[in-house]
Amino acid sequence: DVKVTQSSRYLVKRTGEKVFLECVQDMDHENMFWYRQDPGLGLRLIYFSYDVKMKEKGDIPEGYSVSREKKERFSLILESASTNQTSMYLCASSLGTSGSFVDTQYFGPGTRLTVL
Amino acid sequence: GNSVTQMEGPVTLSEEAFLTINCTYTATGYPSLFWYVQYPGEGLQLLLKATKADDKGSNKGFEATYRKETTSFHLEKGSVQVSDSAVYFCALGGGNKLTFGTGTQLKVEL
């Protein structure tokens, strides 16, 4: 079974702090994704990556950056956390067959981030 | 651009009732369609998918048929159980990403 793990289930940070959210997958998937999930808005794509050191902006990249130094690990960085970044953050990975981004995605359990 | 519209919840049903959650989409080209489910406290997991028109995806008693003529992918189950209580997301795969609907919460009571 594919396993996607996220470093924390719950996180509380203060406004202005730098925040790192880590995600690791164990199935040698090419693609990795970061979403945020908010009530009434569903899932919105922040960033995705199709290879080591490669990244692409999603629909709502403002205020976020990412890092993918190793194939299995994809980090989301909030350079200066703000209260409007309080949300559930979900990481996902997919096989990436022939460069496809629409393979089945496998999700981690999520990190609920609260910014005070 | 691509978009997915699904019925708002919560949907509350008695055990063994019939379930329909509506999903319609707007897309260019020939997208793949998915239903994901999120159980309380967990991430999303794939429930079923269909990759072309008239395909039927099925899993765990749930079914959905890719209807190109009505741009729909409605989720159905003949007899729901309490354990089906979760949030259900319809998603469209096209271009270089998945586009998700806003989710429909299902509550099944005894």
Round to whole Å and give the CA distance between A87 and A83: 9
Structure tokens at A88: 């559930």
| Burial class (CB within 10 angstroms; exposed 0-12, middle 13-18, buried 19+) of A74 | buried
Does the distance separating the beta carbons of A90 and B44 come in below 8 Å? yes
Each residue's pLDDT tens digit, A77-106: 999 999 999 999 999 998 876 556 667 889
Residues of chain B neighbouring A92 (CB-CB closer than 8 A): 43-44
* Per-residue pLDDT at B65: 97
Indicate the pairing of strand B11-14 with strand B3-6. Answer: unpaired
Residue type, position B10, single letter: P
What is the SS3 assignment for chain A? CCCEEECCCEEEECCCCCEEEEEEECCCCCEEEEEEEECCCEEEEEEEEEECCEEEECCCCCCEEEEEEECCEEEEEECCCCHHHCEEEEEEEECCHHHCCCCCCEECCCEEEEEC
pLDDT at residue B9 greater than cutoff 70: yes
CB atoms within 10 A of CB B53: 12
Average per-residue pLDDT for chain A: 92
| Closest alpha carbon to A36 in A6, A72, A70 | A6
* Per-residue pLDDT at B88: 97
The residue with tokens 């998915």 is B34
Report residue B94's pLDDT band, with 50, 70 and 90 as the boundaries.
Answer: confident
| Closest alpha carbon to A90 in A40, A46, A50, A29 | A46
* Per-residue pLDDT at B55: 95
* Average pLDDT value for residue range A10-25: 97
Average per-residue pLDDT for chain B: 93
* Per-residue pLDDT at B29: 81
Tell me the CB-side half-sphere exposure of residue B41, using CA atoms within 13 A. 0
Each residue's pLDDT tens digit, B54-74: 999 999 999 999 999 999 999
Nearest CB to B102; choose among A4, A41, A110:
A41
Each residue's pLDDT tens digit, B26-55: 998 888 999 999 998 888 999 999 998 999
Residues of chain B neighbouring A110 (CB-CB closer than 8 A): 42-43
* Residues in Cβ contact with B1 at an 8 Å cutoff, skipping those fewer than 6 apart: none
* Per-residue pLDDT at B2: 86
* Average pLDDT value for residue range A24-43: 92
* Per-residue pLDDT at A14: 97
**Count of all residues that appear for chain B in the document:** 110
How much of chain A exceeds pLDDT 70, in percent?
93
Q: Is residue A102 less than 8 Å (CB to CB) from chain B?
A: yes
* Per-residue pLDDT at B1: 81
* Per-residue pLDDT at A96: 76
Residues of chain A neighbouring B102 (CB-CB closer than 8 A): 40-42
* Average pLDDT value for residue range A35-52: 92
